[in-house]
Amino acid sequence: MEKIRLGVIGTGSVVREIYQHLYFGSDYSHLIDIEAICDVNEKGMNEFGDRYGIPRDRRFSDYGQMIEKVKLDAVAVNTPDSLHKAPVIRALDAGLDVLVPKPLADNVGDANCMIEKAKDRAGFLGVDFHKREDPRIKEAKTRFSNGDYGEFQSSVWYMLDKLLVADPNYVPRFFASENFASENTPVSFLTVHMAERISWDFTRRVR
């Protein structure tokens, strides 16, 4: 199978904490080549680029230039929620597939705009709701679909994930930041996965 030629737009916290392992150290790494990277924060981008040997001429501060100059199949748009729309639209217009971390946007208008563009371009726009593949969630869905739980009335979810302090000495500080818990409670940070599963798998059946 040919590898997917991927351009990474945004190399901030989610890449540092999570996606670098997917790109370079996972069971799926042999399926992708990180062809180019882009970030307006040159220092952070170069740290990432130096660690993984991304050539200097494949590092960009402008995603439009990256898309124009490098032959790509897809981009991963890892910019903040409020800044997903422009690079997603640009990539779809260039005929590329796009993967975005959850949530797709911080407002419904941006989300609809990206979805409409993907339909218009017949492109792939994926949102990384990885809990969809969690075997426990899939089993609950199957049981529910089989009618094992009867009619849906209410559900109680317990979150077993915990926020780990990755490296208290790492700068810029993220999970280890003093105000992380007050600024990013699990309600906003992880409960989005539960809300997405409930709305997709469960409420849909009783509408």
> Interface residues with ligand NAD (CB under 6 A)?
9-14, 17-18, 38-41, 44, 63, 78-81, 83, 101-102
Q: Which is nearer to ligand NAD, 82 or 142 (CB)?
A: 82
Q: Which is nearer to ligand NAD, 4 or 40 (CB)?
A: 40
Q: Which is nearer to ligand NAD, 18 or 198 (CB)?
A: 18
Q: Smallest gap, in angstroms, from Cβ of residue 142 to ligand NAD?
A: 26
Q: Smallest gap, in angstroms, from Cβ of residue 104 to ligand NAD?
A: 8
Q: Which is nearer to ligand NAD, 4 or 166 (CB)?
A: 166
Residue nearest to ligand NAD as judged by C-beta position: 12
Instruction: Indicate the Cα dihedral angle 36, 40, 43, 45, nearest 10°.
Output: -20
Q: Smallest gap, in angstroms, from Cβ of residue 101 to ligand NAD?
A: 4
